[in-house]
Chains A and B, each alone.
Chain A
Amino acid sequence: MLRMNKISKVFSTDLIETHALREFDLGVAEGEFVTVTGPSGSGKTTFLNIAGLLETFNSGEYFLDGEDVASLNDRQRSQLRNQKIGFIFQSFNLIPDLDLFDNVDVPLRYRGFSAAERKKRINYALERVGLAARAKHLPSQLSGGQQQRVAIARALAGEPRFLLADEPTGNLDSLMARQVMELLEEINSEGTTIVMVTHDPSLARRAQRNIQIIDGQVSDQQQLAQAV
Chain B
Amino acid sequence: MFTYYCKLAWRHILQTPALSLLIIMAIALGIGASMTMISYYKAMAHNPAGDRSEKLHAVQLAAYGNDMETWGMSDGFPRQLTHQDVKNLREANLSFPSTPIYQFMTVVVSQREGVAPSNDFAGRFVDRDFFSMFDVKFLHGGPWSQSVDEQPENQVVISKALSEWIFGEVNSVGKTFAMLDGIMQFTVAGVYEDFNPQPAYYDLTTGYFPREGAGVFAPYSLVEQLETFPMGNISGWQPEEVNGFKDILKSEYVWQVFWTQLDNEAAKAQYKEFLKGYVEQQRELGRFANQNPRGDIKDVETWLNYNEVISEDNRVMVGMSLLFLLVCLVNAVGLLLAKFMRKMNEAGVRRALGASKGQIFSQYLVEVGMLGFFGGLVGLLLASIGLWAVRELYGTDIARLDFSLFIGALLLSLLASLLTGILPALRVCNSNPSIFLKAQ
Report which A residues bind B (CB closer than 8 A): 45, 49, 52, 54-55, 74-75, 77-79, 81-83, 85, 87, 89-91, 93-95, 97-98, 106-107, 109-112, 154, 158, 166, 170-171
For residue B8, give the distance in angstroms from its CB to the closest CB of chain A. Answer: 9
Give the Cβ gap from B157 to chain A, nearest Cβ, in Å: 69
Q: Are B438 and A78 in contact (CB under 8 A)?
A: no
Given A90-B439, A106-B350, A170-B439, A78 and B4 touching (CB < 8 A)?
no
Q: A89 and B437: CB pair below 8 A?
A: yes
A89 / chain B contacts, CB cutoff of 8 Å: 352, 437
- Secondary structure call for the B interface: helix
A98 to B4, CA, bound (A): 13
**A-contact bits for B304-343, CB 8 A (1 contact / 0 none):** 0000000000000000000000000000000000000000
A157 to chain B: closest residue by CB: B353
Q: Does B103 contact A (CB under 8 A)?
A: no
- Known contacts A93-B345, A97-B15; decide if A87 and B353 are in contact (CB<8 Å): yes
A91 lies within 8 A of B353 (CB): no
A69–B437 Cα distance when bound, in Å, is: 22
Q: Is the CB of B356 within 8 A of A74?
A: yes
Among A75, A110, A171, the residue within 8 A (CB) of B353 is A110
* Chain B 53-91 near chain A by CB (<8 Å), digits 1 or 0: 000000000000000000000000000000000000000
- What is the size category of the interface that chain B forms with chain A? 20 to 34
B349 contacts partner chain A, Cβ-Cβ < 8 Å: yes
Q: How far is the CA of A114 from the CA of B396 in the complex (A)?
A: 58
Taking a contact as CB atoms under 8 Å apart, the answer to whether B1 and A109 are in contact is: yes
Establish whether residues B438 and A45, one from each chain, have CB atoms under 8 Å apart when the complex forms. yes
Within 8 A of A (CB), among B411-440: 432-434, 437-440
Contact among B345, B354, B356 for A107, CB-based, below 8 A:
B354
Q: Which of B334-379 contact A (CB under 8 A)?
A: 345-346, 348-359
Q: Is A109's CB under 8 angstroms from B437's CB?
A: no
| Distance from A65 Cβ to chain B, minimum over Cβ atoms (Å) | 15
Contact among B12, B356, B432, B440 with A97 in the assembled complex (CB-CB below 8 Å): B12
- Across the interface, which residues of A come within 8 angstroms of B11, CB to CB? 97-98
> Given the complex of chains A and B, what is the CA–CA distance between A77 and B352 in angstroms?
10
Q: Which of chain B's residues has its CB closest to A49's CB?
A: B434
**Chain A residue nearest in CB terms to B12:** A97
Q: With A54-B433, A93-B345 given, is the CB distance from A83 to B354 under 8 Å?
A: yes
The residue from A82, A91, A95, A170 contacting B354, defined by CB atoms under 8 A apart: A82
